[in-house]
Amino acid sequence: MKAPVLYLVIPCYNEQEVLPRTAPMFLGKLRELTERGKISGDSRVLFVNDGSRDDTWRIITDLAAQDEHYQGICQSRNRGHQNAVLAGLMEVKDRCDITISIDCDGQDDIGAMDEMVDAYLDGCDIVYGVRSKRDTDTFFKRVTAEGFYKFLAAMGVEVVFNHADYRLMSSRVLREFANFKEVNLFLRGMVPLVGFKSTSVYYERHERLAGESHYPLKKMIALAFDGITSLSVKPIRLVFFFGLLVCVLSFIGILWSVIAALSGHTVAGWASTACIVCFMGGIQALFLGIIGEYIGKIYLEVKARPRYIISERTPGMERKDTEQRA
Ligand code: UDP
Ligand code: MG
């Protein structure tokens, strides 16, 4: 088997302090893997500048001028980490066999790449980088980050616990992934939807080599909210069950007020008013839930996600479309 072409996809936003230190680390890793015959010499390090306001893009162009293994693309403005990673992956999907997305701040251990590539060579199409420990994170970051994954799982989003966006994806996964046309991106929740054989590789997360995090609590909550609302209709289902519960309680309320009125324990007019309030409350809560169910369906329809993805074919059933790569 020919050694696969690997592209490292690295989003960068205002990273002038850390990039000059981490870029040679990424290239070093690429060289090491090439020398060991694991990957092809045509492999590249691709930086995606996410509309940085500092010198990041100049640093990237300087690097690209120094060594052909460095490449860069620049987004027209800042669109956020998820979009930057997607832009990089989509730009390289037809140039390579595998991609590894990784942050540029040196927090994710590049040592895990060896295991990722080995897992690919063993037949896995997706390899998730999972943080084994969070010793270097502050107590607050650790609690909020782990709470984030648990909350997502409780809300019906399929995520790999403690996996962020450090992962290997093969080009065939990326070509299928390109058919997920949604614009609200939460990559770590979407990638498992593609399927294919996958595995996890564990690594320790380091501290940032320089610069500051762009993910304060506020952005993390926004990301969790985006993840839930773009991948799960469970909150709508909760509204439906809440409506059902209110409806049952209202029915009991109606019975109770009728019994109280018949046994003469009420003032005139109370029972009829209570009945109307219970009836309206119950019926509205239930109907909102039912309407919500339909909105949930519409929501999933407008995403126009692929309805099936084929992973293996016997000879004679090769894919016949114009996008097929030679
Ligand atoms: N990033 C980006 N666009 C943004 C924010 C962040 O491309 O709007 C990049 C950033 O340069 C880094 C990665 O996303 O490579 C992760 O960001 P950061 O390290 O700030 O997050 P943390 O690791 O603290 O969660
Ligand atoms: Mg970071």
Would the CB of 81 count as within 6 Å of ligand 1?
Answer: yes
Q: Is the pLDDT of residue 317 over 80?
A: yes
Q: In the predicted model, is pLDDT for residue 324 greater than 60? A: no
212 Cα: distance to centroid of ligand 1 (angstroms): 9
> Which of 46-55, 158-167, 292-301: highest mean pLDDT?
46-55
Angle between helix 19-35 and helix 112-121 axes, rounded to 10 deg: 40
> What is the pLDDT at residue 139?
81
Top pLDDT among 260 and 198 is at 198
Protein residue with least CA distance to atom 13, ligand 1: 103
Residue with CA closest to ligand 1 atom 24: 213
Cβ neighbours of residue 112 under 8 Å, at least 6 residues apart? 129, 166, 201, 202, 203
230 alpha carbon to ligand 1 midpoint, in Å?
21
Looking at per-residue pLDDT, the higher value among 190 and 270 belongs to 190
Q: What is the pTM of this model?
A: 0.85
Please report the pLDDT score of residue 211 as a whole number.
Answer: 82
Looking at every residue in the chain, the average pLDDT score rounds to 90
Mean pLDDT of the region 89-106: 95
Per DSSP, the residues of 127-187 read: EEEEEEE-TTS-HHHHHHHHHHHHHHHHTT----TTEEEEEEEEHHHHHHHTT---SS--H
Question: Rounded mean pLDDT of 168-181?
Answer: 95
CB of 214 within 6 A of ligand 1: the answer is: yes
Strand-strand pairing, 163-170 and 126-133: antiparallel
Q: Which residue has the tokens 């501290």?
A: 207
Q: List pLDDT tens digits, range 58-82.
A: 999 999 999 999 999 999 999 999 9
- Give pLDDT, residue 322: 55
| Helix orientation angle between 234-262 and 270-302, rounded to the nearest 10 degrees | 170
Q: How far apart are CA 15 and CA 156, in angstroms?
A: 34
Atom of ligand 1 nearest to the CA of 164: 25
Our mutation pick for probing the ligand 1 site, out of 105, 187, 206, counting the most ligand atoms within 8 A of Cβ, is: 105
Atom of ligand 1 nearest to the CA of 15: 11
Tell me which ligand sits closest to the C-alpha of residue 137. Answer: 1
CA of 111 to the centre of ligand 1 (A): 20
Question: CB of 11 closer than 6 A to ligand 1?
Answer: yes
Alpha-carbon span 161 to 156, nearest angstrom = 13
DSSP 115-135: HHHHHHHTT-SEEEEEEEE-T
Indicate if the pLDDT at residue 132 is higher than 50. Answer: yes
Is there an atom of ligand 1 within 6 Å of 105 CB? yes
Joined tokens for residue 127: 């390899």
Establish whether residue 15 lines the binding site of ligand 1, counting it when its CB lies within 6 angstroms of any ligand atom.
yes
Q: Is the pLDDT of residue 92 over 90?
A: yes
Residue predicted with more confidence, 324 or 100: 100
Q: What is the mean pLDDT of residues 273-300?
A: 89
Cα distances (angstroms) measured from residue 185 to each of 21, 244, 293: 29, 32, 22
pLDDT band at 15 (very low <50, low <70, confident <90, very high): very high
User: Residue 143 C-alpha to ligand 1 middle, in angstroms?
Assistant: 19
Q: How far apart are CA 275 and CA 252, in angstroms?
A: 10
* Maximum average pLDDT range among 92-96, 162-166, 298-302: 92-96
Residue nearest to atom 15 of ligand 1 (CA): 103
DSSP letters of 25-62?
Answer: HHHHHHHHHHHTTSS-TT-EEEEEE-S-SSSHHHHHHH
